[in-house]
Amino acid sequence: MTLLYDPPMPSIADLLRQLGDIPPGRVRSIPPPGTATREDLLKPENFGCELVDGTLVEKAMGHKANRFGAWLLAILNVYVDAHNLGYCTGEQGFIELPHGPVRGPDIAFFAWDRLENRRPPDDEPIPTIAPDLVVEVLSPGNTPAEMERKRAEYFRGGVQLYWEFDPETESARTYSAFAEFSDLTPNDVLDGGTIIPGFSVPMKQLWAKHRATGNS
């Protein structure tokens, strides 16, 4: 006689490892991990989460990281708008990556030339679309394995350029593919390459603005 049974659920340790060795406090238990949907993600109480493998995962938050991300988003927005290249979204601009999870990149850039009819998918709260550029700004709660997984998902989904910044160490790395990167020193210039043509800003300027106070 054949016995029918449900396969065992992964352990909490297995789940955390699968999600990138993240702290358990970032995993929502309602709905149970593995059963969450896009509709769950859009509920107000789940603000600030991403949907990964059917699990609601809180984004790592940090005031310093958010401040830096807001400043960089402002710079990008001004340039992109002035040259009519496309549009940018912030950390609540959720996207469902093709064959991937629902992520909320800290910054994403979408080029008009890659969008159907050169129009944004405004009728969808979570469009299935890959940005041309993704920017992630590290907070203390992020783990290397988590960021490696995100980077793999982004490039697999069609992202062409990925920037990662760490405000704590004032370091930056730009990726043109999953394992192809350049580390930027304070003496280097951040540029948009062929993705955001003509965009450039000295890293010294970015980090100086990051450190600025009301007494500057």
pLDDT (tens digit per residue) in 6-34: 545 568 888 999 999 999 999 999 999 99
pLDDT (tens digit per residue) in 92-139: 899 999 887 999 999 999 999 999 889 888 778 899 999 999 999 999
Map out the domains of the chain with their CATH numbers: 12-58 (no CATH), 63-211 (3.90.1570.10)
Give the pTM: 0.90
| Rounded CA separation 101/99 (Å) | 7
Tokens standing for residue 143: 């783990």
For the cut 80, the answer to whether the pLDDT of residue 4 exceeds it is no
Phi, psi angle pair for 26, to nearest 5°: -90, 0
Long-range contacts of 63-70, Cβ-Cβ distance < 8 Å, separation of 24 or more: 64/139, 64/167, 64/168, 64/210, 65/106, 65/137, 65/138, 65/139, 65/167, 66/91, 66/137, 67/167, 67/210, 68/137, 68/165, 68/167, 68/206, 68/210, 69/106, 69/107, 69/135, 69/137
Max distance between CA atoms of the chain, in angstroms, equals 78
Q: How far apart are the first and last CA of the chain?
A: 78
Average pLDDT of the chain to the nearest whole number: 91
The pLDDT of 36-40, averaged and rounded, is: 94
pLDDT value of position 1: 42
**CA angle, corner 92, sides to 161 and 163, nearest 5?**
20
Tokens standing for residue 199: 């965009």
| Rounded CA separation 76/22 (Å) | 30
pLDDT (tens digit per residue) in 134-186: 999 999 999 999 999 999 999 999 999 999 999 999 999 999 999 999 999 99
DSSP state of 202: E
Tokens standing for residue 40: 């769950």
